[in-house]
A = this chain, B = another copy of it.
Amino acid sequence: MRGPLLRDVAQQAGVATGTVSNVLHNPAKVAPETLARVQAVIAELGYVPNAAARQLSRGRSGSVGLLVLDARNPFFNDLAAGVEEAAGSMDLAVLLATSAERADRERLYLDRFEQSRVDGLLVTPVGGSVKQLKAIRDRGTPIVLLDRLATTPGFSSVAVDDIEGGRLAGQHLVDVGCRRIAFVGGPVTLEQVRNRLVGAGRAAEAAGVALSHLATTRMTADEGRRVGSEIAAMPRRERPDGVFAANDLLALAILQALTLAGIRVPDEVAVIGYDDIAFAALAGVPLSSIHQPSYQMGRRAMELLAATMQAGGDSRTASQQVVFMPELAARASTLRYGTRVRPANGVPVEPLA
């Protein structure tokens, strides 16, 4: 039941195996009529090259591994699309895997990738596997860290400035007149959460506005609903008049809980999220959010990786850190009547449709 081999094609066409190989990869090096004949035989026999054999003899896989935290998160989907796009134009295949934020799965997939001899690796690290990453890199596989600033020297990375993102969100709430801001998110073991909180804190402090932190155990809709109801249940004068949620899923759930409780958004409470997923703009009250150029980040990361791969063979190239700036996408959930908002850096403010 095994299919025809390259040597079967060669025999059938009356040429050497090397010639068939050339027909496949260097058509220019083959005389026109030979080429035609061989191609005909290939079609006739239904020959399908064996990728494993090719990889083995070539010594390169022609693919890169992409390990993300959560395949269901739109942010990572966009990121992956960007990577794929860039990889495609370089004739590289992308192997995608999800760690689901679990260290054991991260280890598993990193192992698999290394065994597959990927030419490069793009990783959003769960954390804790720095050692393994170093080992892989030291064995010769270029690695670019994603969505996390490389603290460890020797790694390149593409990330977005979460502190600045937090600051933007906090400043925006201040700008629309909030005096008691609540930051919702957690666990703080997540670097992103910490940084966004820090950024918001700076903006609040600078404006002399109070900032509280309502912790969540995870960033899910359930947790958002819970916190939303808690906020709604607070006595009016203690209640925050501005909520900054660490991601859009939380924000949307909070928004819903508040609305259901009869609290007017943005008049009584302004709400802003983070990530600017497609559904943010689709909410009943369109949700303000912090936009990250996820697609571009993916592209850029892949380009950076490619550069490292080129140089990587022999020279120890300096690592690069690319930091993207997040942007404010202001929508109805924060834009109170009569508020005037300074346009954020470059970004079109989108008031109601």
Interface: A321 (CB within 8 A): no
Residues of B within 8 A of A3 (CB): 139-140
Contact of A72 among B74, B96, B114, B256 (CB under 8 A): B74
A228 to B: closest C-beta gap in Å: 10
**Complex CA–CA separation, A54 to B9 (angstroms):** 25
Residue A15 lies at the interface, judged by CB distance under 8 Å to chain B: no
Closest B residue to A313 using CB positions: B1
B residues near A283, Cβ cutoff 8 Å: 256, 282-284
B284 contacts A221, C-beta separation under 8 Å? no
Choose among B78, B116, B139, B249 the residue that contacts A46 (Cβ–Cβ < 8 A). B139
A278 at interface by CB-CB < 8 Å: yes
B1 touching A51, Cβ below 8 Å: no
A255 surroundings in chain B (CB, below 8 A) = 284
B256 near A117: Cβ-Cβ < 8 Å: no
Query: What are the interface flags for A61-81 relative to B under an 8 Å C-beta threshold, 1 for contact and 0 otherwise?
Result: 100000000011010011011
Min distance, Cβ A197 to any Cβ of chain B, angstroms: 23
Query: A61: nearest residue on chain B (CB-CB)?
Result: B52
Chain A to chain B contacts (Cβ below 8 Å), 21 pairs: A1-B140, A1-B313, A1-B314, A3-B139, A46-B135, A50-B56, A50-B115, A52-B55, A52-B56, A52-B117, A53-B56, A93-B112, A95-B95, A221-B278, A221-B281, A225-B353, A255-B284, A259-B284, A279-B279, A283-B283, A283-B284
A residues with a Cβ closer than 8 A to B are 1, 3, 46, 48-53, 55-56, 61, 71-72, 74, 77-78, 80-81, 84, 93, 95-96, 98, 111-112, 114-117, 135, 139-140, 221, 225, 249, 252-253, 255-257, 259-260, 278-279, 281-286, 313-314, 352-353
